Structure 1
Amino acid sequence: MRAQRRSNTLLPREKMLSMGPSALTEPELLALLLRTGCQGMNVMELASHLLEQFDGLEKLLTTQHQHLMSVKGLGPAKATQLSATLELCRRVLREKVAKSDIITSPESTREYLQLHFQGLQREQFACLFLDTRHRVIALETLFQGTLNAATVHPREVVKQALALNAASLILCHNHPSGDPEPSQADIRITRKLKDALELVDIQVLDHMIVGQGEILSMAERGLV
């Protein structure tokens, strides 16, 4: 019985070695990251339990580190491993986006922004600053909290764009509610920022709103 249990525990690793990572299920891949189980659950049971608790891999891996620390069965070591995995994904996408033309690779940009904002409990406003070839210079969070005309200051956006020698930019922020539909405040802020940046010959290409599993482009709606 002990030998059989040990064989089952090692199965994901053996399966990866013989068939490659694409052959593994999500619970099996997660089990490899977790490495060990916890009291009352072996590693496969723990992996399946976590996926069920978080309603899938995306929500689990995009949950804030502080929240993961409080989840039964994880603890500091496992929570840190999962958070590190998410950060590696972010950095891979960041490198991919940084080397590409935003206009010709919009899906990479959307994936990167989704990872950047996913799991945040408060609204954050960021700018994706671009050079003359529409390549990423930087993604910087400039404001936090409920976004309105009082909290988003055009002069700060203009100042940072000039400091980075940006030729254009994409405005982006999240809606923690999960609904990416733009509010009237979002529309007003977009127009205000666009007008301010036009004075210094910097173009606003889009304003993207990140919801739960979805990103809305205000440019595609004709709102930029």
Structure 2
Amino acid sequence: MPPSTYLTPRLADLSVSERPQERLESLGAQSLSDTELIAMILRSGSKGRNVLSVASEILRAGGSLNGLLNWSDAEFRNIKGIGKVKALQLLTIIEICRRVRDRSPSKEPILDSPDLVFQHMQTHSDSLQVEKFWTLSLNRKNRLLRRTEVSSGTASNSLVHPREVFREAIRQGASAVICVHNHPSGDPAPSAADIKVTRQLRESAKIIGIDLLDHVICGSQQHDPRQQGYYSFQEAGLL
């Protein structure tokens, strides 16, 4: 393709010091910008656009690398130059980053109050358009062993069964669990269904022998009449 019809300079037309791979080889990964790191994953651009331009658009649309952690396959493919294979490559890298972050010992908090649970879950529940339900498996000191997404529902509800809630807790040898789900509306007040499922989980916990410490509903402070942003069944005396 003649240079005059190329919308952005080809990597071959850039100086060696501006090419991500050469910079990586000579200076190390820590020297690369966020855009260059994404470019190294993509490896190539699209018709009329070099890989740095495509990577820059992804980062601009996501706002930051952290902003990309909740992106879906469809959101990546909305970027011109990102097809099925590249979208799956990006999703794979993001999932690796999530797992490293979630399993890092330094990131395992002690969750012994509903406000700490809410703070811990905010990054996972904020801005979600559907309900999700998580099990937080804890050791005897209430330190988090594992956070497991049990279900992802529609914009109005998330179906959950006790066996799914406690399965990972049993596998982890947990002493206790805290259940968490979000309300996309932002109002954390429990519905009749929330109360019913909490009662079911309470009875199942007694049979299994794993303490159900709390069920926390995450919302937002601006939509919560109490301005807490969350609802705790334990605080409400319903556990």
**TM over 0.5, shorter chain:** yes
Aligned residues: 210
| Structure 1 pair 71–103 and aligned structure 2 pair: CA distance change class (3 A) | same
RMSD of Structure 2 on Structure 1 (CA): 4.3
| Structure 1 pair 190–9 and aligned structure 2 pair: CA distance change class (3 A) | farther
Pick from 149, 157, 160 the counterpart of residue 147 of structure 1. Answer: 157
Supply the AA of the counterpart residue of 1:147.
N
- Displacement, 1:36? 1.3
Q: Helix, strand or coil for the counterpart of 2:35?
A: helix
Report the counterpart of residue 120 of structure 2 in structure 1: 110
Report the counterpart of residue 130 of structure 1 in structure 2: 138
Supply the AA of the counterpart residue of 1:76.
K
**CA-to-aligned-CA distance 1:73-98 (integer Å, 9 cap, x gap):** 1012211221011111122123215x
Report the counterpart of residue 47 of structure 1 in structure 2: 55
- Equivalent residues of 2:131, 2:183 under 8 A apart: yes
- Equivalent residues of 1:130, 1:169 under 8 A apart: yes
The alignment's TM-score, normalised by the length of structure 1, stands at 0.66
Tell me how far apart the structure 1 counterparts of residues 108 and 204 of structure 2 sit (CA, whole Å): 21
- Equivalent residues of 1:129, 1:136 under 8 A apart: yes
- Displacement, 1:114? 3.8
| Structure 1 pair 100–56 and aligned structure 2 pair: CA distance change class (3 A) | closer
Tell me how far apart the structure 1 counterparts of residues 36 and 47 of structure 2 sit (CA, whole Å): 19
- For residues 129-208 of structure 1, the aligned pairs below 5 Å read 129-145=137-153, 146-147=156-157, 151-152=159-160, 155-156=162-163, 160=167, 163-164=170-171, 165-176=173-184, 179=186, 181-185=187-191, 188=195, 192=199, 195-196=202-203, 199=206, 200=209, 202-204=211-213, 207=216
Supply the AA of the counterpart residue of 1:63.
W
Q: Helix, strand or coil for the counterpart of 1:184?
A: coil
Tell me how far apart the structure 1 counterparts of residues 189 and 145 of structure 2 sit (CA, whole Å): 28
Tell me how far apart the structure 1 counterparts of residues 28 and 212 of structure 2 sit (CA, whole Å): 45
Tell me how far apart the structure 2 counterparts of residues 3 and 86 of structure 1 sit (CA, whole Å): 25
| Structure 1 pair 38–8 and aligned structure 2 pair: CA distance change class (3 A) | farther
Supply the AA of the counterpart residue of 1:82.
L
Q: Helix, strand or coil for the counterpart of 2:19?
A: helix
- Equivalent residues of 2:136, 2:177 under 8 A apart: yes
Tell me how far apart the structure 2 counterparts of residues 123 and 94 of structure 1 sit (CA, whole Å): 21
- Equivalent residues of 1:169, 1:202 under 8 A apart: yes
Report the counterpart of residue 209 of structure 1 in structure 2: 218
Q: Percent same amino acid among aligned pairs? A: 26
**CA-to-aligned-CA distance 1:9-62 (integer Å, 9 cap, x gap):** 853333344444344322222222222111121111111222223333333342
| Structure 1 pair 24–166 and aligned structure 2 pair: CA distance change class (3 A) | same
| Structure 1 pair 64–175 and aligned structure 2 pair: CA distance change class (3 A) | farther
- Equivalent residues of 1:27, 1:48 under 8 A apart: yes
Q: Which runs of 5+ in 1 are unaligned?
A: none
**CA-to-aligned-CA distance 1:67-123 (integer Å, 9 cap, x gap):** 4245421012211221011111122123215x875318x79x938x846x6886532
Supply the AA of the counterpart residue of 2:218.
I
Question: Quick check: 1:24 aligned with 2:32?
Answer: yes
